[in-house]
Amino acid sequence: MVIVDRKGPEAMNNPQEARKEQPSTYFVQDRDNQSEFDRLRVQDQMVTRGMGGILPEQPNPEKLRRILDVGCGTGGWLLETARTYPTIETLIGVDISAKMLEFAREQAQQQGVGTRVEFAQMDALRMLEFPTGYFSLVNARFSISYLRTWDWPKFVSELARVTRAGGIVRLTECGRLGGDSEALFSLDKLLLQAFFNAGHVFVEGDDTSLMVRMPELLSRQGVYNIQTRDYELRFPAGTPEGESYREDLRYGFRVSLPFLRKWVGVPKDYEQLYQQMLEETARQDFVGRLRLRTVWGTAPTHRKTQHVV
């Protein structure tokens, strides 16, 4: 049994028991926007397929006992993990959005994995309310969307704390959205500047600055045996992958508008650029590109490990 908070473990699966959401640093200010739900579902599937599966770098995922996904959103990665590896006993996803978690719970029941998959409302910027050393593997993907540069040390420290000694701490982050489109280049440059101004990017104009620092972020918290795998995903127009990439862009540059207005300003020709981007990414010769880096390592021995029943 996992002790989540004073309300007890039943609060994890009861939306009525969810605590009031705290102000978020997530780059999509309206987290309950249907377009954001759609974007996350498209992105989850697109990225997982492009990477070659749920845990392509792990030699024996079926031997894992308990998995935590931090910032799980609509639960896509965790649910696919549960379906792919039925031997994993417990899979828990945490996110700050109660509405996304409610959707994820419904999906878990519909997909027949509700007895093994749980979702809890938590603010990962504060703490992960789980016993020390509880999980075999802790996963965090695209945390740049809500973490500022100064949030990373405490965040990684919490990931390592709730991972058992010898377990796996795993991070995946991405670079800029690419492709032969002038409008996409302009829009993504604008978004990267907004991320820097808001504190999410370490070096102005450098979309790789977080990916480069990921091994160091883990090692500073005692994680060792650190390994890295880089991906260069391609999404040709006219393929299911290409259509997913275009859908991700279509949703993404709509839901991020309030973030852009706040942190960098929106040019007068934004709508024109947006429509041009949609046209250019629909061309038969367009190929979308996305760089990813997964970094993982072994969690250290904890000074004091809480007993888990």
The dihedral formed by the CA atoms of 77, 83, 86 and 91, expressed in degrees to the nearest 10: 30
The superfamily CATH assigns to domain 9-176+206-233+291-298 is: Vaccinia Virus protein VP39 (3.40.50.150)
With tokens 């039925």, the residue in question is 86
CA 160-161-167 angle, 5° bins: 55
What token pair was written down for 51?
Answer: 């990477």
What is the bridge-based pairing of β-strands 224-236 and 135-141? unpaired
Crossing angle (nearest 10°) for helices 76-84 and 98-110: 20
Q: What is the pLDDT of residues 216-229, one digit of tens each?
A: 999 999 999 999 99
Where in the chain are the domains?
9-176+206-233+291-298
Phi/psi at 76 (5° precision): -55, -50
Q: Find the mean pLDDT for residues 108-112.
A: 96
Model confidence pLDDT, tens digit, residues 160-201: 999 999 999 999 999 988 999 999 999 999 999 999 999 999
42-76: pLDDT as tens digits: 999 999 999 999 999 999 999 999 999 999 999 99
- For residue 9, pLDDT over 60 is answered with no
Structure confidence at residue 23 (pLDDT): 56
Question: Can you tell me the mean pLDDT for 127-154?
Answer: 96
CA dihedral in degrees (189, 191, 197, 199; nearest 10)? -120
Instruction: Kindly indicate the confidence band of residue 13, based on its pLDDT and cuts at 50, 70 and 90.
Output: very low
| pLDDT for 210 beyond 80 | yes
